[in-house]
Homo-oligomer: A and B are copies of this chain.
Amino acid sequence: MKEHILNEYTIKDIVCKTGLSAYTLRYYDKIGLMPTLKRNDKKVRIYTNEDICRLELICCLKDSGMSLKDIARFMDMCLIGKETNDEKIELLKQHKESIIKQIDSLNCSLQIVNHKINHIDDLNFK
């Protein structure tokens, strides 16, 4: 397809590629998650492969518990460039710690749930 050769995708293509809804993609643009997203002369959003990479990062950060507000801030720093590299590394390191804590917490929950499965009768009210 034309779009693939030109490295240009419409919102519909991105819906297929990412599984995000068109509503969500427009919303992400609206709140500043895609600060460099291009438009054609008809004001239609044109996504590139780079934009797809950014969306993947956005989903990675969001799915690991970062708020969209913080992701927008991070994208702002990416827009500024190298002078924010230290700040970005610091933010990612903090987020990394948060992910590790979440994994620990989930492992703990997993143990509890396993225990409850094996002692199901203890859950019933007396």
* Interface residues in chain A, defined as those with a beta carbon under 8 Å from any beta carbon in chain B: 35-36, 50, 57, 60-61, 63-64, 78-79, 81-82, 85, 88-89, 92-93, 95-96, 99-100, 102-103, 105-110, 112-114, 116-117, 120-121, 123-126
Contacts and interface: CB of A to CB of B under 8 A. Distances in A.
> Per DSSP, are chain A's interface residues mostly helix, strand or loop, or mixed?
helix
11 contacts: A50-B126, A61-B109, A64-B110, A64-B113, A78-B124, A81-B125, A82-B124, A85-B120, A89-B117, A92-B113, A99-B106
A78 B123 contact: yes
Q: How many copies does the complex hold?
A: 2
Contacts of A123: 57, 78, 88
A125 B82 contact: no
A37 to B, nearest CB: 11
